[in-house]
Structure formats: C-alpha cells, structure tokens
Chain A
Amino acid sequence: MTTQPANNYSIQSYVNKNRNNIDEALVSLRVMKQIDDFLHYKCENNRELAKRLGYTESYVSQLMTGVKKVNCSFINKFEKEYKVEFDFKIKLFEEEKDKIFNKIQDSIINVIHININTININHASYFEVKTSNKDYYEYEDAEFENV
C-alpha cells in the first residue's frame, strides 16, 4: 500500500475559514449533548424524542450532528415534555478568572490600607481624647509610680 502525506486534506484551513459557523454548531452541540445524555438515562432514542416533541426524526438527527442549530422553541418543548429545566451557567475562562482574581487581590489590599488608616485614625482620636482626660493621666501616673 502506498503511503502519501495527508497535507492535501486541509482540515485546518477549512476550520479556519469556517470558524464562526463551527463554533455556533459547537454551542448547539453543547445543548444537544445534554439532551443526548438525558435520553440515554431515560433509555429513549432520537425517534421517540422526535415523536414526543412533534418533530421529524431527520430534524432531531440534524440537531444531534450539529448540522442544524438548536433553538429556544425546541428547548422549551423539551422542557415541557420531559418536565425538566435547562440550567445555563456562565463559566469563566482561565484568563478571565485571573483578571478577576487580580482585581479581588487589589481590592483586598485597598481594604487592608483602609483598615490600617482606620486604626490610625481611631488610635489618633483615642489618643487625643485620652490626652485631654485628666483621669487617664492620673491613672498612668499611678502606674508609673508603681513601676
């Protein structure tokens, strides 16, 4: 069997050209994967899903392969039919996590600064109050004498 390099099959160039389209399909597939796993758990197949939601089997198959993109109407029908709810959450990428972590770190440092200032102010005001208090002086003098 002859072996020839595979660089003619320009998968990467196709991906680069159609990046947005592929990414959109991948978002749809994220939803469909959840449905696929759910169907597996319920021991149901695409045909039954299509029948229950009132779609054709072909349409469901296209959704499952990412050829067609899932829409809100489909999700709504699925939720109502199976009495479930999609739980969409926003996850941060590592870079964003780092940015937020750095921001939090900065604000913690600011808080520490504020606290230190607050302590200084408190201490200063305490000191001022006490310095004008005769009892304090008397007390301190007594202490001093004991020592």
Chain B
Amino acid sequence: MENFYQILCCDEKRFRVFLNHHNPDVIKKFVEINKDPKAFKKFILVIEAIKVNNFTTQQYNFEGKSTLGNVFAIKVDRHRFYTLQMTNGNYREIFICRYGKKESQKNDKELTTTIKSIDKIEIQKIEL
C-alpha cells in the first residue's frame, strides 16, 4: 500500500492531484523542484494545463496504459514524474507515482521498468 497525499484540489474543474509519499525519489525530487523557483513555475504550469485539459506533449506526455488508468510523464526540465491518471466519479485524479530522469538510450530499460511498476501500485489516498 502506498500513501498518496492530496496536494491540489479544484472543485470547479473537478480535478485532484496526489503525491506519492511512499516513494523516496518522488519526494526528494519534488522537494528539489519546490526549492527552484523556475522549475516550480514549470511544474505548476503543467498542473494548471492538465487541469484545463490544454497541455502540450512537451509538458505532459502519454507513456502507456496500465490496469488502473493511463500513465503520463510530467516533464520539468530533465525531471520526469510518472503519473497515473484516473477518473473517480466526476473528478479527474492524477497520482504522481514514480520519478525518472529524461529518457535516453542508457536509461530506456530502467524507465520501462519504472512505468511497469505503476501497474502494481495499491493506492491509499489521504485527503487533507
């Protein structure tokens, strides 16, 4: 079971964002981005663009399907946050599950494994 804390909720757009607090890489990189104003701005822009369903593939790219939903990558510079997108009632919910670096020939297999591991996730939602 992996704990996901709600970090953003918009009732108007019926949209929620959850962050995996179970994964050390996700937390570490998320904190790192929070400390860098430029990177944080980019991250926020991605989230806001997803919220209004108006994102480019440079921001939020479809990576594949899993049993729970579609997997996308939130792209912020060289960072990749692998995210599970699901629909819960009328709400669109995204779960930032895994972290990976920008895709290259070297880490291609590693990223595939990371994305596949999302399939096995058991989500414990914690709404604040």
Which residues of A line the B interface, CB within 8 A?
Answer: 1, 3-7, 9, 11-12, 14-15, 18, 22, 25-26, 29-30, 32-33, 36, 40, 46, 61, 64-67
Contact = CB atoms under 8 A, between A and B. Distances in A.
25 contacts: A1-B22, A1-B23, A5-B5, A5-B126, A6-B5, A6-B7, A6-B19, A9-B30, A11-B8, A11-B44, A12-B8, A18-B41, A22-B45, A26-B49, A26-B54, A29-B56, A33-B54, A33-B55, A33-B56, A36-B57, A40-B57, A46-B58, A66-B42, A66-B49, A67-B41
B59 A65 contact: yes
Contacts of B46: 65
Interface in B49-79: 49, 52, 54-59, 75
Chief secondary structure at chain A's binding surface: helix
Interface in B9-27: 17, 19, 21-24
A61 B8 CA distance: 26
Contacts of B22: 1, 3
A66 B57 contact: no
A65 B56 contact: yes
